[in-house]
């Protein structure tokens, strides 16, 4: 490994070959050997993303005066997301670098709004189900807020009564998911909206995984609980373009019910030698390519393309579940309505099963409560479903006969 910048540059073809070789031990995501990390639909879409990203590789999303092209693509992308989330003319969004930044900005706006609306609160708290993504705690940690996590209900969804019971005089907001990362549950946002309204709370919906594609899952005939701005009481929604929007990383959105609410995410500063700095994002310089690729993905796919991806993802999920169901003692946790789910086998350590799956080329994330293996179905997982089920059957048998205990669950 070279430890310092080489004295002389090397030719690109040589570097390209070296980089291609480095990929040799990477996960085979094109053939559905991954349970997370990659949202890939087709070579055709990959080409569009690469070309669109490349076209705007150098442009900077910080400088909208210089790049009206980026400003236009950003505004149009946010408008498309707004319509998917049942927003209206008042709804206003921010294009961000990912779910974590979107959640950070949702929490920032929540905090600043509460300072304005309820200035008496000095130790603000957010109530959330135990299933919330750690990005919530990261955002709260960085911004001096406390998160109170409460147990989920027997269906693994947020328990509205338990959340309401956790509300106290310091609570400024509630948080729920559509769906949760671990078990793929869509929390009962319809029951949480009225609670938020009753207690004067901000309600953030983390639809990082479901925001873009679930309308098309619904169109394909599946029942998906409502979770967006159609529900009164929802203040902000994070929805990732680089997940179920099948855009290039880094790309996500956070949308606010009104332009006024979005203003609470703005940071303004002018005590330095270059005038007013006013920003709605955490990042300063932003990749123009990511905005261009997201715009291109949405216009290339259109509703028809997303409907096809949704249908293929749901077929992949069902085929994977059918294959797993044929193995003795295997069950899916709860009734996940979208493409994410978790499964477990009885009488065996699921860490050991995950380890055995990895030795068979399938990288699996684990869940802890309850113990299981996480799966995020995308179109490529349909063709991989039989091989996945065969690997699962062998892995379970191996783990059962050895009685081994595998590694503890880790998210990344």
Ligand X SMILES: Cc1ncc(COP(=O)(O)O)c(C=O)c1O
Q: Which residue has the tokens 């997201």?
A: 294
Q: Kindly state the smallest distance separating residue 208's Cβ from ligand X, in Å.
A: 4
Query: What residues contact 271, with CB distance under 8 A and at least 6 apart?
Result: none
- Cβ atoms of 320 and 388 within 8 Å: the answer is yes
> In this chain, which residue has its C-beta nearest to ligand X?
99
- Member of 34, 133, 374, 381 binding ligand X (CB under 6 A): 133
- Member of 174, 208, 350, 389 binding ligand X (CB under 6 A): 208
253 vs 247: CA distance, rounded Å: 12
Tell me: does residue 337 bind ligand X (CB under 6 A): no
Tell me: does residue 98 bind ligand X (CB under 6 A): yes
The DSSP bridge pattern shows strands 125-129 and 171-177 to be parallel
- Member of 137, 177, 281, 366 binding ligand X (CB under 6 A): 177
Q: Which of residues 269-298 bind ligand X (CB under 6 A)?
A: none
Burial of residue 153 (number of CB atoms within 10 Å: 0-12, 13-18, 19+): middle
74 vs 206, beta carbon nearer ligand X: 206
Q: What backbone phi and psi angles, to 5 degrees, belong to 237?
A: -140, 130
Q: Kindly state the smallest distance separating residue 168's Cβ from ligand X, in Å.
A: 25
103 vs 354, beta carbon nearer ligand X: 103
- Member of 48, 107, 114, 135 binding ligand X (CB under 6 A): 135
210 vs 323, beta carbon nearer ligand X: 210
Tell me: does residue 204 bind ligand X (CB under 6 A): no
Query: What residues contact 236, with CB distance under 8 A and at least 6 apart?
Result: 106, 109, 110, 202, 203, 204, 205, 254, 255, 256, 257, 261
Q: Kindly state the smallest distance separating residue 243's Cβ from ligand X, in Å.
A: 7
Which CA distances in Å does 247 have to 45, 108, 295, 300? 9, 25, 8, 11
Q: Kindly state the smallest distance separating residue 270's Cβ from ligand X, in Å.
A: 30
Applying CB under 6 A, the span of 68-76, 99-107, 278-286, 379-387 interacting with ligand X comes to 99-107
181 vs 341, beta carbon nearer ligand X: 181
The candidate with the shortest Cα–Cα distance to 74, out of 58, 60, 89, 55, is 60
Tell me: does residue 100 bind ligand X (CB under 6 A): yes
Tell me: does residue 349 bind ligand X (CB under 6 A): no
Q: Kindly state the smallest distance separating residue 179's Cβ from ligand X, in Å.
A: 7
Q: What are 393's two structure tokens?
A: 């059957």
81 vs 135, beta carbon nearer ligand X: 135
Q: What is the distance in angstroms between the CA of the first residue and the CA of the last residue of the chain?
A: 24
Site size for ligand X (CB under 6 A): 13
CA atoms within 13 A on the CB side of 178: 30
Residues linked to residue 147 through DSSP beta bridges, in sequence order: 126
236 vs 252, beta carbon nearer ligand X: 252
135 vs 344, beta carbon nearer ligand X: 135
137 vs 395, beta carbon nearer ligand X: 137
106 vs 351, beta carbon nearer ligand X: 106
56 vs 373: CA distance, rounded Å: 39
Q: Kindly state the smallest distance separating residue 263's Cβ from ligand X, in Å.
A: 23
- Member of 59, 125, 187, 206 binding ligand X (CB under 6 A): 206
281 vs 395, beta carbon nearer ligand X: 281
Q: Kindly state the smallest distance separating residue 252's Cβ from ligand X, in Å.
A: 6
Q: Which of residues 373-392 bind ligand X (CB under 6 A)?
A: none
Where on the chain is the footprint of ligand X (CB under 6 A)?
98-100, 103, 133, 135, 177, 181, 206, 208-209, 240, 252
């Amino acid at each position: 490994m070279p430890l310092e910048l080489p004295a002389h540059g090397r030719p690109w073809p040589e570097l390209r070959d070296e980089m291609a070789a480095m990929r040799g031990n990477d996960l085979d995501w094109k053939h559905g050997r991954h349970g997370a990390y990659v949202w890939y639909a087709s070579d055709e879409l990959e080409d569009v993303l690469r070309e669109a990203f490349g076209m705007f590789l150098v442009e900077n999303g910080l400088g909208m005066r210089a790049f009206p092209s980026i400003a236009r693509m950003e505004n149009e992308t946010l408008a498309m997301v707004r319509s998917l989330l049942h927003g209206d003319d008042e709804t206003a969004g921010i294009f961000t670098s990912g779910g974590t930044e979107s959640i950070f900005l949702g929490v920032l706006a929540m905090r600043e709004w509460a300072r304005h609306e309820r200035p008496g609160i000095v130790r603000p708290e957010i109530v959330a189900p135990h299933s919330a993504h750690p990005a919530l705690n990261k955002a709260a940690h960085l911004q001096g807020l406390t998160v109170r996590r409460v147990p989920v209900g027997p269906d693994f969804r947020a328990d509205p009564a338990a959340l309401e019971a956790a509300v106290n005089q310091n609570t400024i907001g509630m948080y729920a998911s559509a769906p949760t990362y671990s078990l793929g549950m869509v929390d009962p946002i319809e029951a949480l909206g009225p609670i938020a309204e009753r207690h004067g709370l901000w309600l953030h919906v983390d639809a990082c995984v479901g925001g873009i594609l679930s309308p098309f899952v619904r169109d394909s005939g599946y029942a998906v609980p409502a979770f967006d701005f159609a529900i009164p009481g929802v203040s902000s929604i994070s929805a990732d373009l680089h997940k179920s929007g099948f855009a290039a990383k880094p790309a996500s959105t956070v949308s606010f019910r009104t332009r006024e609410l979005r203003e609470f995410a703005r940071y303004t500063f002018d005590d330095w030698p270059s005038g007013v700095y006013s920003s709605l994002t955490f990042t300063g310089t932003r990749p123009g390519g990511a905005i261009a690729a997201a715009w291109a993905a949405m216009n290339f796919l259109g509703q028809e393309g997303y409907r096809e991806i949704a249908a293929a993802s749901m077929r992949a999920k069902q085929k994977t579940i059918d294959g797993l169901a044929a193995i003795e003692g295997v069950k899916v946790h709860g009734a996940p309505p979208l493409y994410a789910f978790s499964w477990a086998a009885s009488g065996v350590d699921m860490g050991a099963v995950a380890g055995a799956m990895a030795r068979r080329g399938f990288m699996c994330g684990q869940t802890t409560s309850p113990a299981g293996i996480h799966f995020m179905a995308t179109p490529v997982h349909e063709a991989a479903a039989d091989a996945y089920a065969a690997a699962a059957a062998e892995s379970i048998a191996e783990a059962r006969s050895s009685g081994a205990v595998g590694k503890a669950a880790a998210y990344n």
